[in-house]
Copies of this chain bind each other. A is one copy, B any other.
Amino acid sequence: MNNSHRMASASLLPKIDPTPVSQQFEAWKQAVLHSTTLTLERTLPASDEIPARLHEAMRYAVLGSGKRMRPLLCHAAGEAAAANPETLNVVGAALEMVHVYSLVHDDLPAMDDDNLRRGRATVHVQYDEATAILVGDALQAQAFMALSQAPVSTACQVSLVRALAMAVSSVGMVGGQMIDLASLDTKLDITQLERMHRMKTGALIQASVRMGALCAETTQLNIDSLDRYSTAIGLAYQVIDDILDATVDTATLGKTAGKDAKDHKPTYVSMLGLTQSRHLAQRLGEQAHQALKNLAGRTDRLHGLADLIINRLH
């Protein structure tokens, strides 16, 4: 049902929840972050299991901090589709493990060569390069193992595996990183920049939303609308990333600020300027909200996450 129906039926209830929407959303977000952390804690091998140094490094990379945007998107879409929360925990954890693997590999000296991530030393700095490569490799395997054990039908497990594998493949996330590396010191036009981001970060963000909906086994949700939503927030996320890299300091960002300009990387800011980039982010935000308009199911979490992405400060 759409928003106006929801409001109409809500008004028939004897008691209306007096908590403001923003507080409700914040409480939901904290609950998802908490359950995601618990699921990751129990999914990752213990740090005293052999080989202990590898397991310690995997836990260092994944646990601690992180915005957990992909688990949040998975839960939001899953709730819209009325999926089982425990399934969403497992699938959200798998998405986060794959995302962290990509960060650990992207930070390597042979790639973006970064020593700060989420406010802490990157894995190859804290441990060593070989360990960082193996941490990424093992996290990818762990994510697929988690999906193959999610509490859903085998048909649904297979759909989840296929969606994740496609999203992180050479025509998805990994391919995007390849194009990104090749773009240093070169001139991409705005279309090429957008394609790179659609692959590098957009594919996994789209998969997070789709996989959340898939967890419901059967859903009335319109996949095209969900895809329009995730395309818009995926690009918006990147535009804001470029704006923050150019305007915010390293301490606030938790990763090295000003790195794009230093690396001569094409960004939205370098191509459109700050003002135009801000307008673009706003427009993408509106597109995201618009895409949810005729979607069945509860969409307030998805709306809230779109606002969170557009208004984020780090």
Contact = CB atoms under 8 A, between A and B. Distances in A.
Interface in A150-190: 153-155, 157-158, 161-162, 164-166, 168-172, 174-175, 177-179, 181-182
Contacts of A105: 133-134, 137
A26 interface: no
A178 B108 CA distance: 17
A124 to B, nearest CB: 8
A179 B131 CA distance: 11
B154 A158 contact: yes
Nearest to A160: B148
A55 B255 CA distance: 31
Given A105-B137, A162-B148, A178 B128 contact: no
A136 interface: yes
A154 B157 CA distance: 8
A274 interface: no
A264 interface: no
Contact of A145 (B51, B101, B148, B166): B166
B140 A137 contact: yes
- Of listed A108, A133, A154, residue having the most chain B CB within 10 A: A133
Contacts of A182: 51, 53
Contacts of A229: none
B136 A165 contact: no
A21 interface: no
B178 A131 contact: yes
Contact of A161 (B49, B144, B155, B175): B144
Interface string A119-152: 0000000001111011011101110110111000
A25 to B, nearest CB: 33
Interface string A46-59: 00011101110010
B155 A169 contact: no
B130 A174 contact: no
Contact of A144 (B51, B53, B134, B144): B144
A142 B179 CA distance: 18
A170 B142 contact: yes
A170 B144 CA distance: 13
A129 B105 CA distance: 11
Contacts of A172: 141
A111 interface: yes
9 A-B pairs with least C-beta separation = A110-B129, A145-B165, A138-B170, A148-B162, A154-B154, A51-B178, A54-B178, A138-B174, A148-B161
7 contacts: A45-B170, A50-B171, A54-B170, A101-B137, A137-B140, A145-B161, A147-B161
Given A49-B171, A145-B169, A158-B158, 16 more contacts: A45-B170, A51-B170, A54-B170, A55-B170, A105-B137, A134-B177, A136-B137, A137-B168, A137-B174, A140-B140, A140-B141, A141-B169, A144-B165, A145-B161, A154-B157, A158-B161
